[in-house]
Chains A and B, each alone.
Chain A
Amino acid sequence: MDYDVLIIGAGMSGLAAGIRLAYYDKRVCIIEKHYRVGGLNSFYNRGGREFDVGLHAMTNYVPKSVKLTPLPKLLRQLKLKREDFALCPQRMSAIKFPDKTLRFNNDLDFFVQEVVDNFPAQSDNFQRLLKTIFEYDELDLYAKPISAREVVGSIISDPLLIDMVFCPLMFYGNAQENDIEFGQFVIMFKGIYCEGFARPQAGVRQILDVLVRKYRSCGGELKTRCTVTSIQAANGRVESILLENGEVLAADKILSSAGYVETMRLLSNYDPTGIEEKAGQLSMVEFITVLDKQPAEMGHETTIIFYNKSDRFDYRKPDELINVSSGVICCPNNFQYKNPLPEGMIRITNLANFDLWNRLNEEEYKAQKAAWLGKSLNEVVKLIPDFRDSIVFTDVFTPKTIHRYTGHINGAVYGTPNKTKMGITHLENLFICGTDQGFLGIVGAMLSGISMANLHVLQKA
């Protein structure tokens, strides 16, 4: 055996799993297709600037005194210090629907008061919802999936409040159209409303650098620009992994963060029956605008706005290239940094249709990016001060870009709606971690890697 464990993908989950395994003396190697690590949560350079791909904000931020929530849990597990991530909390975020706005910061009581003020008839129901959420063990790997729409709908009777509460949770981590599995709902609810948003001043790179450094210092090996061509399986086990450069690697166990269907597709004896239809459909587009001033100077002080302009919030693959009737407006400047970021920036995220984007030729692709930037901005400036005259640079990434970064079929940001919570596959030594295991968000992804490494490798003597 070349290794005890081979990990496919150096995203948040793969790196976190790698740290656990390397720290406890496993011979481990992470194989990453790209030059840069991070997967969905990576960064790129354009026009002399560095942009984050996935990260708007890290969820699950808690003050130092709080201990047993996901963020401190993962810091303990990865033997990292709180200061390593250099997280700066948000200022204030908001959910804006046609007739109502709910604001939230990193203090649950504030959010509860907003709900009570805006939906007085629902205040008792909302308390009951909180009780249900706190009593639920969302990290139970054996729990049966249930519909959050059903659970929440049986407690809250105002569909507008339900849609508003769901909106940020959907945009920040839901692979399923219009509904979300209740366990994931609880994970996202706690991560966003009970704990909260924060961002390192240096963006996602801060987190990735810390993880890679820790992994290497524990003796882990990282191969970048290295693509897995196929996984050779026989007798119910993975026997070896074939790389694009012709190399063949063997390991006792394989942990794949490439996605469930994507991993199955790599199998040498792949049988698509019953598997292909599991691929996720939800993809997004992001418009990044760089401004010649700080957004706060224009009167925009909100950190993140989740908006919806239709009667009902429709979280599904749009029928056209992009759906601008709902989205996310993130201002990376509006976190509580020690020093302001050098340039103003506003990022807009909308739901998008991968197939339609994928069909365009290069010229049309460019033209559509520009056209939809305009349409999206038109909607956004109805909600925040018009910043269009201050834009000095724009970049757009589409479902095709997400596909390129993550390898996810359909550019599905959050992978398949059918999560594999236990991480097991039909092959006894092949396991799934990351997006398709089912703990979402950046913190969730890292916890996914940690849990799967613990469960399938470290706990087995």
Chain B
Amino acid sequence: MTKKEIKSVLMEIVAEIIPDEDLTNLKGDIPIREQVEMDSMDFLDIIMELRKRYGIEVPEDDYMQLATLDSSVAYLEPRMRDL
């Protein structure tokens, strides 16, 4: 997957987890949770969806890497490159 594809996968996942939020103006460099109403339980679901869909394990210590869209893409790219 390219970085662009990874980003669109992430957007799709976020949209599914918080279906009632408007994501059109979501900025890549600001923590997602500062831009939309999303709590720690919802955040956990991003990790769960990555596991469910792509078999990617994100250890608890790395959760912070997924704070913004950009940092998520950077973190996931080496893990999703060959998918």
Q: Given the interface contacts A24-B52, A76-B18, does A450 sit within 8 Å of B41 by beta carbon?
A: yes
Closest B residue, CB atoms, query A65: B20
Stretch at the interface among A37-45, A342-350, A453-461: A453-461
Q: A433-455, CB under 8 A of B: which get 1 and which 0?
A: 00000000000000000110010
Q: How far is the CB of B34 from chain A (nearest CB, A)?
A: 14
Interface residues on A, range: 10 to 19
List chain A residues, Cβ under 8 A from B9: none
Q: Is B23 located at the chain interface by the 8 A CB criterion? A: no
Q: How far is the CB of B76 from chain A (nearest CB, A)?
A: 16
In the complex, the answer to whether B41 meets A24 with C-beta atoms within 8 Å is no
Count of interface residues, chain B, beta-carbon cutoff 8 Å: 17
In the complex, the answer to whether B60 meets A77 with C-beta atoms within 8 Å is no
Q: Is A216 located at the chain interface by the 8 A CB criterion? A: no
B35-63 residues with Cβ-Cβ distance < 8 A to A are 37, 39, 41-42, 44-45, 48, 51-52, 57, 59-60
In the complex, the answer to whether B52 meets A454 with C-beta atoms within 8 Å is no
Q: Is A67 located at the chain interface by the 8 A CB criterion? A: yes
Out of B19, B37, B44, B52, which one reaches A68, CB within 8 Å?
Answer: B37
User: CA separation between A178 and B57, bound complex, in Å?
Assistant: 47
User: CA separation between A461 and B57, bound complex, in Å?
Assistant: 7
In the complex, the answer to whether A24 meets B48 with C-beta atoms within 8 Å is yes
Q: B1-28, CB under 8 A of A: which get 1 and which 0?
A: 0000000000000000111110000000
User: CA separation between A356 and B18, bound complex, in Å?
Assistant: 50
Q: How far is the CB of A13 from chain B (nearest CB, A)?
A: 15
List chain A residues, Cβ under 8 A from B60: 459, 461
Out of A64, A67, A454, A461, which one reaches B41, CB within 8 Å?
Answer: A454
List chain B residues, Cβ under 8 A from A451: 41
User: CA separation between A450 and B41, bound complex, in Å?
Assistant: 9
In the complex, the answer to whether A24 meets B51 with C-beta atoms within 8 Å is yes
Nearest 5 pairs of A and B residues by beta carbon: A67-B37, A461-B57, A24-B48, A68-B37, A24-B52
